[in-house]
Structure 1
Amino acid sequence: MSWCCVVVSRFRIPTFRDVCVARRIVSRYLKPTPLVYSRKASRILGCDVYFKLENLQPVRAFKVRGGVYYMYRMREEAARRGVVTASTGNHAQSIAYAGSLFGVDVKIVMPHGVPQIKIEAVKDLGAEVIIHGSYFEESRMFAERLAEEKGYLFVHSINEPLLYEGVGSMHLEVLEELPDVDVVINPLGGGSGVASGCIVYKTVDPSIMVFAVQAEGAPAFYESWRRGELVDLGRVSTRAEGLAAGRAYELPFMILRERLNDVLLVSDAEMEGAVRFIFDAIRQVAELSGAASTAAAFKIRNLLEGKRVVLMVTGGNIDADSFASILKGGSVK
């Protein structure tokens, strides 16, 4: 049996219909986020630029869509057993927020080095935070061990199909407001954002171009996509904690390998420049990973010329000191 067949047998691949079903549930709990046209960004990049503002979600990141849908679907079992997951921040807030909606006890394992603003945000939502490991994969393995030992319901932040179905609702919103979109650029940490985008856009019109963006210091999916096999690079080196995955995972790889147009790499400095650009263009706050799509647009601006382009601003969880430093031309410490 081929590797591809093994993956298909282990993981349910979400469909466009699944995303449409999820949208009806997600919309009960979360309002649509704005799709904002920017004259300044359009002039500078030479195309029609729209920013999808997922930084305006209740937890300031797109992942809350998946968390709400997962917890809704699993609410009875989750309430009975309690939930544990691992995250570098935004998935953690997503599950914690959803847990607060449905009365579920939530434990979050986070690696050392996660910004304090994200840790405090998770605690404010009523979840318990456990610090373990130096990067995401170490935290994930510890969370899985806790689930096995204590009987908690483990939520895999990357290989759980329900998360993709909920997250895909943001792309349905894009199509509703901009049905003639040509290009969508989405950051890729674990993969639910861009993978759900491919499910939506490529089903509606295969000519819509979808690009994923990774950090130069965490290029596991980039390498996997080019080699045609999953790659585990171990440690990562990026200040964009939302993109700090040291390995590629089965479910997003299976979805993206035949649908994605390309994977682009951006440096931390380029993402910091994009944070400044977004604030200057539309006065919105983005974290480094949330600005990765904008950083990538500058690298392929010739390809984007004359097209209708959506840049997914996937998160805005950045502390005031780091944001101020970036605006002054400095770097995140």
Structure 2
Amino acid sequence: METIEDQALTFAGIETAGEIVARELGTTPLVGHPLLDRFAGTEILVKHEHVLPTGSFKVRGGVYLAARLTDDERATGLVTCSTGNHAQSVAYAARIARCHATVVMPSSAPQVKRDAVAALGATVVSHGDCLGDAAAHARSLATGPGAPSYVDTTDPRIVLGHATAYLELFRQAPGLDAVFVPIGSGTGAVGACLVRDVLAPACRVIGVQSAAAPAAWRSWRSGAVETAPSATRASGLATSSGYPATLPHLRAGLQDFVLVSDDAIDAAARLLASHAHTLAEGAGAAALAGLLATDARPGRVAVMCTGGNASADEIARLAAA
């Protein structure tokens, strides 16, 4: 029987995941928006991942996870932690696989995301003020005989599923000069780098993170797993530590990694709403914010709109501008 360790992070593994994900999910649009091009002074293609079920690219990881669950995992159920979109992904996986999922979410997680996880049939447990607190509690629930199996944010099956977004992207748009990718745990950016290396080696992959939650950025710069306060309003970027599983791939694959303010993320979300007919959550707008913060802008660029699960507070800030 295939084990988790057999799920190697290779291009061949991503192609296999792509075949499985495509049976459940349609290809997401890659669209140019002339008003956005005019504002930014460069050609921008927006990958609209927010149109997927659960409103986020992370459902791709859930679909592939469901196809690769072990018999034990199906029997005992799953437990994970998340501020929202990974939570919905695992809940979606459990629904497909017809097993139970428990999701531990910190108090900072938006209510709309908690409600969405519960609506998919998972049990939502609120614990702690930050993702680190929630993660520790989720791991404690996965101990002992008959306990549910812990699904890490960087589980190889999750990463391979996330990478299918970039398999689509580089097949849709050969000849890209750069792609901007939001980074929380870094799973999407790892997928971008792995696919880029095979399909578009000349394309630059540039990571973007909130300056109010810079743990992954600090880790990328130092080469060691770093921690940092997480005070960002963008829940999808609200990580307080780098991730050992993704850090080596980010160090090897990213050409640059930029920090942007939460206000810059809000401004990018307003631009997506007004210039690209798109309601994005903070993490979904971060890639555009990263592009706009870059002085030397590449000629033909893709930005990943990774999620559209905007909270009531985010929508209110858009309306107040």
Calculate the TM-score normalised by the size of structure 1. Answer: 0.92
Post-superposition CA distance 1:168-216 (Å, at most 9, x none):
1111111121011111001000111111100001222322100011110
Residue 68 of structure 1: how far off its partner (Å) = 1.0
**Are positions 1:250 and 2:244 aligned together?**
yes
Q: Is the 8 A contact 1:67 1:163 kept in 2?
A: yes
Cα offset, 1:229, TM superposition: 1.4
Aligned CA-pair RMSD: 1.5
Question: Equivalent residue for 1:46?
Answer: 41
Do the aligned residues in 1 keep the contact of 2:214 with 2:259 (CA within 8 Å)?
yes
Please tell me whether residue 153 in structure 1 is matched to residue 149 in structure 2.
yes
Q: Describe the superposition over 1:201-248 as per-residue Cα deviations: whole angstroms up to 9, x where unpaired.
A: 122232210001111011111111111211122x31111111011110
Answer whether contact 2:46 2:305 (CA < 8 A) is retained: yes
Residue equivalent to 1:5: none
Q: Which residue of 1 aligns with 2:316?
A: 324
Instruction: Quote how far apart the aligned CAs of 1:11 are.
Output: 10
**Displacement, 1:325?**
2.9
Unmatched 5+ residue regions in structure 1?
1-9
Kindly provide the amino acid, as one letter, of the partner of residue 99 in structure 1. A
Note the C-alpha offset of 1:29.
0.8
Are the aligned partners of 2:185 and 2:246 in contact in 1 as well (CA < 8 Å)? yes
Paired positions, count: 316
Q: What is the aligned partner in structure 2 of residue 107 from structure 1?
A: 102
Task: Note if 1:167 corresponds to 2:159.
Answer: no
Secondary structure, aligned partner of 1:148: coil
Answering whether residue 64 of structure 2 is matched by residue 69 of structure 1, we say yes
Q: Are the aligned partners of 1:211 and 1:264 in contact in 2 as well (CA < 8 Å)?
A: yes
Structure 1 segments of 4 or more deviating over 6 A? Answer: none
Residue 192 of structure 2 corresponds to residue 197 of structure 1: yes
State TM-score, norm by structure 2: 0.95
Q: Please state if 1:26 is matched with 2:21.
A: yes
In structure 1, the partner of 2:51 is 56
Q: Structure 1 residue 221 and structure 2 residue 216: aligned?
A: yes
Query: Which structure 2 residue ranges, 5 or more long, are not aligned?
Result: none
Alignment of 1:122-133 (within 5 A): 122-133=117-128
Report the 3-state secondary structure (helix = DSSP H, G, I; strand = E; otherwise coil) of the residue aligned with 1:210: strand
Q: Which of 131, 134, 143 is equivalent to 1:139?
A: 134
Q: What is the deviation of 1:81?
A: 0.9
The one-letter code matched in structure 2 to 1:315 is G
Structure 2 CA distance for aligned equivalents of residues 292 and 79 of structure 1? 35
* Distance of 1:108 and 1:263 partners within structure 2: 30
Task: Output the CA distance in 1 between the equivalents of 2:317 and 2:217.
Answer: 29
Deviation, structure 1 residue 110? 0.3
Distance 1:292 1:11 in 2: 33
% of aligned pairs identical? 36
Q: CA deviation at 1:76?
A: 2.9
- Measured after TM superposition, the shift of residue 311 of structure 1 is 0.4
TM-superposed deviation, 1:269:
0.5
Give the whole-Å Cα distance in 1 for the aligned partners of 2:200 and 2:315. Answer: 38
Select which of 297, 302, 305 maps to 1:313: 305
